[in-house]
Amino acid sequence: MEGEPNGFELMEPASPEALVPDHALWPWPAAAIAIATLLLLVVAWRLFAGKRKPARASLHALREAAFHKAQTALENTGPGTCREAAVITSLILREYLSAAANDPALFETHEEFVSRRDSLQALTPEARNAAEAGFTRLASLKYAPGIPEADPSRIIADARALLETLHRGFAT
């Protein structure tokens, strides 16, 4: 029975320091550094993101760009038939009004556009009347039951004149 241990053998007691949890301070400085770095990155991003926003184009510049785009489109419009000229010029003028006056004319029928009380409020009364008359004439050509007897090049010339009137007719 040499190998059997005696059940009443005294052993050395465990050290009390081993039972106390370790209160090492190294995680706290690391967490503080990580939080400070994250905070600095957020502040730096907010500062630089605010400066990189594109400058808003002025209203005048937007109107000029829309005007030149419409002029170019009208110059590139071929005579075709009377109805084709009316449809194309009406679309070009409505796109111009949509961009220059921020008006939903592009997405409305002729009746909706004419009957809306707040249509083209950015224009002078004379320009509004010219727009109403011009679009009414174009609508009569577009929706005529037969092919109307009108000169397509004259329709395009009238659309150019209406474009000039609308462009010069902004009140502000």
For 95, residues 6+ apart whose C-beta sits below 8 A from its C-beta are 66, 69, 70, 73, 106
pTM above 0.75, yes or no: no
Round to whole Å and give the CA distance between 127 and 169: 5
pLDDT tens figures, 42-62: 988 888 876 665 555 688 888
Q: What is the mean pLDDT of residues 152-159?
A: 90
Please tell me the number of Cα atoms within 13 Å of 156 on its side-chain side. 19
Identify which of 95, 107, 101 has the alpha carbon closest to the alpha carbon of residue 69.
95
pLDDT tens figures, 30-41: 778 889 999 999
